[in-house]
Chains A and B, each alone.
Chain A
Amino acid sequence: MKLIKIFFSIAVVASIATGCKQVLDTSPNNSISDASAFATADRCLLVLNGVYDAAQSGFYNGSYSANRGYPFGAANIEQGDNRGEDVVNIAAFYQITYQGTYNPTTANNVNMWANLYGLINRCNIAIDGFAKASGGVLTAPVASQYIAECRFLRAMAHHEALIHFARPYTDNAGKNVGVPYRDFPVNSGTAVDQITTTPRMRVDSVYIKILADLDFAEANLPAAANVARVSKAVAIAMKMRVKLHQADFAGVITEGAKLVPATVNPLTPASVVSPIGGYALTANPDGPFANNVSNTESMFSIRNDALDNAGVNAALSTMYGSVTLTGRGLVAVSPVIWNNAGWQCDDKRRTLLYVTGTNGNGSQSYFTTKYRDYANRADYAPQFRYAEVLLTLAEAEARNAVGVSQRAIDLLNVVRNRSLASPLTSQYTLASFATKVDLTKAILLERRIEFLCEGKRWADIHRNAPDATYTTGGIPAKAVNGAAGLSIYNCGAGYTPGQALIPYNDYRFIWPIPTDEISANPIISQNPGY
């Protein structure tokens, strides 16, 4: 009996002792935990690629698989164009943006906000992980480069948020309410609390933060060009863009000096080569689009591929492409720009980059062929081209000078001459402009023509709106939604749009903050009027 007692005492003790607490430390099999996501250099690179993927697309209305290219995979281009007057929205697709009927729950503005800040948080989580991996899993220079790439994307996202959700810097010297600047990772429940105590900053404060990120990016990015990832020259180009929005023309010139030689020959546009990254204009204006993955001009584009793109409801080739070319023909070129007398009728861009074709309503319109992969929708989404560097610098030189700037004219000509039928005779000269205002207006028009269907129109409208000389007065008058038929297109004949201008002081000039954000995070204030 004693033996039995001993036996069972041992059995009881043993069985309880085997229930040690480690048995509860199981680990997930299907996904990668954050502890292991940065465990090797390869995985760190996968995380960085994930940040670029977040720049291409996040969630659309809560669905990850419903890729609509928010924020930068397609949507910033489509929204940027449809907020302006140089395209026509053919069907109901972009109507809310095009007609200014958005509200705090409409998909375009909601998804832009959610995915810009979604990208920002991906950047911040990755920055946090790379910083911890620095000197261990990653060498310090590699970690710094990865962090610089993330800080660049973070700055770019914040700037995009500013131009949609806040008044421009040039209004009230940046003292208006801007957007929240998030530079901390939200990867836990407690960090969620941190964003709920981070209100919208003043516009000028956001610019300070953006420029700090870009300075870091410039210092730590490699000079070598890589179109799908940011490089040193791209950081500088972004600084030029940001400073132009601040109307800091001297600042733009300082940055531009790093990317543009002091002397340029406007008659040989391709000879103007960036000292950093070696960027240069392609020989023809369709060069950046004929091969948009690899050319000398495209500095930074967001990668799309056959497996991962904005799909039938948002891809650039689908939306901008005519039905004739197997697109959906939903965003056509507007007669507002097509008929503009400042765009020469024999300009090569009119034939190399635009065609007539059937639109989404079954009638005919002009469509761009900048995005050509109708089958796989794998066109990269262009964000920075060397042409922008040249025209940005030209505008800064023009506006910074006391009189009419010859360098500004030269830089404008570099871009414009490439597309002119006879540059030698029809290029701009000092005699072309009575005042620097005329020159600046010519540069601004050239931006509309050169970047037509590249989504840059809204940013120009936004930054110049408070400027009495260069303002469009608000959201410009547009061709009525669905306007079509080739009869409205007449080179040089002008066009009287039917959809009324929305004045700058109207609340609709800026987008509303999504209701979801405000209800989950009440510290974010709504824009007035919504």
Chain B
Amino acid sequence: MRKISAFLMCFLLAASQLLAQNRTISGKITDEKGGAIANASILVKGTTIGTTSGSDGSFTLKVPATSKTLVISSLNFTTKEIAIGIKSIINLSLQPSTADLTEVIVQVPYATVKKGSFTGSEGTVTAATLEKQQVTSVTRALDGQIAGVSSTNGGGAPGTGADIRIRGFGSVNASSSPLYVLNGVPYDGSISAISNDDIESLTVLKDAAATNLFGSRAANGVIMITTKKGKKGRASVNASMRQGYSARAIPEYERLGAKDYYEVFWEAFRNQYYYGNGQTFTASGVSASNVLTTASGLVYNAYNVPGASLVDPTTGKLNPSAQLLWNEPWSDALFQNAQRTNPTISISGADDKSDYYISGGYLNEDGIAKFSGYKRYNFRATVNTKATDWLKVGINFDGSSDLRYGLFAGGTATSNPFYYSRYMGPIYPVYQHDLTTGAIVKDANGNPVYDFGTPTQMGSRPYAANSNLLGTLSLDVRQQKRLNGNLNAYAEAKFLKNFTFKTSLALNYFQVNGITYQNNQYGDAASVKGRATVSSSYQTSLTGNQVLSWAQNFGKHSLTALAGHENYKFYTTQLSATKTGFNYPGQTALDNGAVVESPPSSSEDSQTIESYFGNATYSFDNKYFLSGSVRTDGSSRFAPATRWGTFYSVGLGWVLTNEKFFQNIKWLNNLKVRGSYGQSGNDNIGLFYQYINYYYADGFGNFQTPSRLANPNLKWESNGNLTVGLEFSAFQRRLSGSVDFYDRRSKDLLFLVPLPPGLGFNGGSYQNIGQSKNTGVEIQLSYSAIRSKNFDWKIDFILI
């Protein structure tokens, strides 16, 4: 009752205010440099009475006499309230909001830096963008968001990611993938294991000045992933539920129907008899009609007239009185509109000393191919606390368990539903039909019987006899279960004056258990009573680093310096075996198999990278910026004499708009030019001991023989990266953007060089011989077409 009366009161008040509006206020809204701000929102506080500023920033607003305060807001500017008093003209200058360029914090290696003083080239995607997307992998979320970043979707199966390339391919044989850095530490676990809802920001570092502190590991750019932290204030609980559907984006090809299929094949048979067998044209037509649905022809007769009279031997046209007995498109049977369900929940909060963030999520994504999909459970817990006034510690633990199923074979395999459904003629049904009535045949339980295209059913189907994917895919298993766990801990101490020492430890464990089971009743493996390949692999990577940093201001001079050490250890191992002879459908464990087809085989590899690095920056009066980095990496992939590589970078920045002579240009809010050059390296050729000659053991203990010719002189690929760019914002920050020119040259690329054949070594030997060059211009423009309190329309233009 009370609520209703309060509502009525409000209504009455509003009505009376409408009657009482008797004042007009006018004025102009400008930015901090006096430039007009268009479309700024001017509202009477506590009411819906308001207007927006014109293109020259001016406004006129009639306000009720009782009005006391105006609220003026505009995108990218701090909202301001101003008392009306007795004023009739109100001119107001808005200050740039915290989202302003000078205040944005950029995640850089081992530190953060204000965007305004950053001399490198980067692009950032924040949680606000990620929330809008129905994608599972971070790599897909980056698609089309940042200039210079290209993402390529491979198969598109549920739970798979996209290949990300930053500024093109920097290597041919070594990896061209960027380095992923999760909460400040290089990460090589599963990318799709990270829930997008846990991500605060994704920063793509593109040039040498930005990436160099990661040295050789950052030759292809860096993607810094920062997860969410608790924010000060009351504990907040966020729950979300996303529900989506996916279907083919591009419609399936148009295909022949049963009528056309018979007529076209009749013509093919006639041509074969005429040209191939030398029959007369007339006789060829008769032979074609006679053979059409026989065992030498298409076998199946989908119509209710005898096969020989199905197609007219003279005209080649289908018998007009023929009635189709069945029409069952395989694509309808094998594909579906896929559903995606993604509930998440997080609880976070912080006080003066500590913050925490705990989240959990579930994802269930079906594939558009039946029997395929992706399921994931994930959780994350992050706690940071100031143990004392000088020591801060934090820990992040996250894990995910996922299941990818329906990992079908590709290409022309009959277990590939895409190929199967296209290659199968329209006259071959999914279910067994009575050849006379066309009725679906049912088994003893009344369930429809699948047609496997066997002689005991409807006939020996010419394509993929003894198969029915709808029947076999439900009996087969093609899945991977994966477990991904991360532990990330750090301690940060401030001591003396301006010194910080931070040590971090990150451990990633990634396990994949795979099962490929071809069922024992139908299809390829029926003759061997089923075949199962079981594989298990896991990898661990351990990164530890210690970073000492120092910062000091002397008047207008700012100096920072950083020195550190990092050690990275990677270990991977896999085991697999194959057996046949499975007597118990669905029991895919190898113990249920009878015959060893591939004996167990296993392998393991390890790698270590040891690094030392340093970085210094200098800035003067927020106008001039200089940074330099050096890092030396030692890789176990190379021989002792060549394994150490030293990489460096320098960067320069100049904020022109902070110069006096730019102060008068009102329409320009920010203009910065910057440039960088640096060299980094790449060792990621997949093989771990290319510098050591290998002997191959035959697996039976009979002999060992040299199997690989090593190249002890192998060294790092070297990547030089020059970037010149400018960043700007203008017209009250309505238009902002950046233009970057880059020239990326790689040399000493690792290539497999063919050896003279008479050496007894297969293939070739890796050598540092290739060169590559990527140049480009990246333009990123953003224009706020409409910005009001409740509605933003922002147009982004990205040219890669």
* Residues of A participating in the B interface, judged by any CB pair closer than 8 Å: 1, 4-5, 8, 11-12, 15-16, 18-19, 21, 23-35, 37, 43, 46-54, 58-59, 62-64, 110, 113-122, 125, 182, 186-189, 192, 195-196, 307-308, 514, 516-517, 519-521, 524
Which residues of the partner chain B approach A114 to less than 8 Å between Cβ atoms? Answer: 757-758
26 contacts between A and B (CB under 8 A): A1-B495, A8-B499, A15-B546, A19-B610, A23-B608, A24-B610, A24-B640, A24-B643, A28-B688, A29-B604, A31-B695, A31-B697, A33-B695, A34-B692, A43-B704, A64-B762, A110-B757, A113-B757, A118-B761, A121-B759, A182-B758, A188-B711, A189-B712, A192-B709, A516-B756, A517-B758
Cross-chain contact B501 with A11 (CB below 8 angstroms)? yes
Partner of A15, one of B565, B694, B760: B565
Cross-chain contact A121 with B610 (CB below 8 angstroms)? no
A34 to chain B, nearest CB (A): 4
Q: Which 7 A-B pairs have the closest CB atoms?
A: A117-B758, A118-B760, A50-B705, A49-B703, A114-B757, A34-B693, A32-B695
**Chain B minimum-CB-distance residue to A43:** B704
Cross-chain contact B706 with A26 (CB below 8 angstroms)? no
A29 to chain B, nearest CB (A): 4
Partner of B567, one of A19, A31, A110: A19
**Chain B minimum-CB-distance residue to A17:** B565
**Chain B minimum-CB-distance residue to A116:** B758
B187 within 8 A of A: no
Cross-chain contact B755 with A21 (CB below 8 angstroms)? no
**Chain A minimum-CB-distance residue to B705:** A50
Cross-chain contact A189 with B765 (CB below 8 angstroms)? yes
Known interface pairs A8-B501, A28-B694, A122-B760; A188-B710 also in contact (CB < 8 Å): yes
Sort chain B's interface into a size bin.
35 or more
Which residues of the partner chain B approach A19 to less than 8 Å between Cβ atoms? Answer: 565, 567, 610, 612
Which residues of the partner chain B approach A31 to less than 8 Å between Cβ atoms? Answer: 689, 694-697, 707-708
B636 within 8 A of A: yes
Cross-chain contact B756 with A308 (CB below 8 angstroms)? no
Which residues of the partner chain A approach B608 to less than 8 Å between Cβ atoms? Answer: 23-24, 26
Which residues of the partner chain A approach B643 to less than 8 Å between Cβ atoms? Answer: 24
**Within the assembled complex, what's the spacing in Å between the Cα atoms of A524 and B702?**
35
Cross-chain contact B757 with A30 (CB below 8 angstroms)? no
Cross-chain contact B704 with A28 (CB below 8 angstroms)? no
B548 within 8 A of A: yes
B706 to chain A, nearest CB (A): 6
* Residues of B participating in the A interface, judged by any CB pair closer than 8 Å: 390, 493, 495-496, 499, 501, 503, 546, 548, 565, 567, 569, 603-608, 610, 612, 634-636, 640, 643, 688-689, 692-698, 700-713, 754-763, 765, 767
Cross-chain contact A50 with B704 (CB below 8 angstroms)? yes
Given A1-B495, A51-B705, 14 other A-B contacts at CB below 8 A? A4-B390, A8-B493, A8-B495, A11-B501, A12-B501, A12-B546, A30-B605, A34-B695, A47-B705, A114-B758, A189-B710, A189-B711, A189-B712, A520-B756
Cross-chain contact B689 with A28 (CB below 8 angstroms)? yes
Known interface pairs A5-B496, A30-B603, A37-B695; A47-B756 also in contact (CB < 8 Å): no
**Chain A minimum-CB-distance residue to B545:** A15
**Within the assembled complex, what's the spacing in Å between the Cα atoms of A192 and B759?**
9
Known interface pairs A34-B692, A46-B703; A23-B756 also in contact (CB < 8 Å): no
Cross-chain contact A58 with B695 (CB below 8 angstroms)? no
B550 to chain A, nearest CB (A): 12
A73 to chain B, nearest CB (A): 13
Which residues of the partner chain A approach B501 to less than 8 Å between Cβ atoms? Answer: 8, 11-12
Known interface pairs A21-B634, A26-B606; A307-B705 also in contact (CB < 8 Å): no
Which residues of the partner chain B approach A5 to less than 8 Å between Cβ atoms? Answer: 495-496
Which residues of the partner chain A approach B710 to less than 8 Å between Cβ atoms? Answer: 34, 187-189
Known interface pairs A31-B707, A308-B698; A16-B758 also in contact (CB < 8 Å): no
A133 to chain B, nearest CB (A): 14
Cross-chain contact A117 with B757 (CB below 8 angstroms)? yes
B446 to chain A, nearest CB (A): 49
Cross-chain contact A33 with B495 (CB below 8 angstroms)? no
**Within the assembled complex, what's the spacing in Å between the Cα atoms of A8 and B703?**
55
Cross-chain contact B755 with A520 (CB below 8 angstroms)? yes
**Chain A minimum-CB-distance residue to B760:** A118
Which residues of the partner chain A approach B763 to less than 8 Å between Cβ atoms? Answer: 62
Known interface pairs A8-B495, A23-B567; A113-B758 also in contact (CB < 8 Å): yes
**Chain B minimum-CB-distance residue to A35:** B692
**Within the assembled complex, what's the spacing in Å between the Cα atoms of A115 and B705?**
14
Cross-chain contact A34 with B567 (CB below 8 angstroms)? no
Cross-chain contact A520 with B696 (CB below 8 angstroms)? no
Which residues of the partner chain A approach B760 to less than 8 Å between Cβ atoms? Answer: 54, 58, 115, 117-122
B587 to chain A, nearest CB (A): 31
A237 to chain B, nearest CB (A): 25
Partner of B704, one of A1, A21, A37, A521: A37
**Within the assembled complex, what's the spacing in Å between the Cα atoms of A502 and B49?**
106
Q: Pick from B604, B605, B709, B712 the residue with the most CB of A within 10 Å.
A: B709
Which residues of the partner chain B approach A27 to less than 8 Å between Cβ atoms? Answer: 689, 692
**Within the assembled complex, what's the spacing in Å between the Cα atoms of A1 and B546?**
21
Cross-chain contact A23 with B610 (CB below 8 angstroms)? yes
B769 to chain A, nearest CB (A): 12
Partner of B565, one of A16, A49, A113: A16
